[in-house]
Amino acid sequence: MQKIWNQILEYLFIRKRETPHNFDTRAMHWMNRVSIILFLIALLILFYRLFIRR
């Protein structure tokens, strides 16, 4: 489980060795990061509603 979290955090916050060469690639990577963050927020809300708020 720790390895999965490390991969997610590495993708979100650590710069890659290869820098994107054009705007389209940079925009795609930025949108992927946004979608991962929104997904994780949605999971937190889901777990909150299922387990904490009863």
Annotated domain spans of the chain: 26-54
Q: How high is the pLDDT of residue 19?
A: 65
Encode pLDDT of 15-48 as tens digits.
665 665 788 888 888 898 899 899 999 999 999 9
> Do residues 11 and 36 touch, judged by C-beta distance below 8 A?
yes
Q: How high is the pLDDT of residue 16?
A: 62
Confidence check: pLDDT of 54 > 70: no
pTM of the model: 0.61
Q: How high is the pLDDT of residue 39?
A: 94
Distance of CA 33 to the CA centre of its chain: 5
Q: How high is the pLDDT of residue 4?
A: 80
> Do residues 34 and 12 touch, judged by C-beta distance below 8 A?
no
Closest listed residue to residue 13, CA positions, set 44, 37, 46: 37
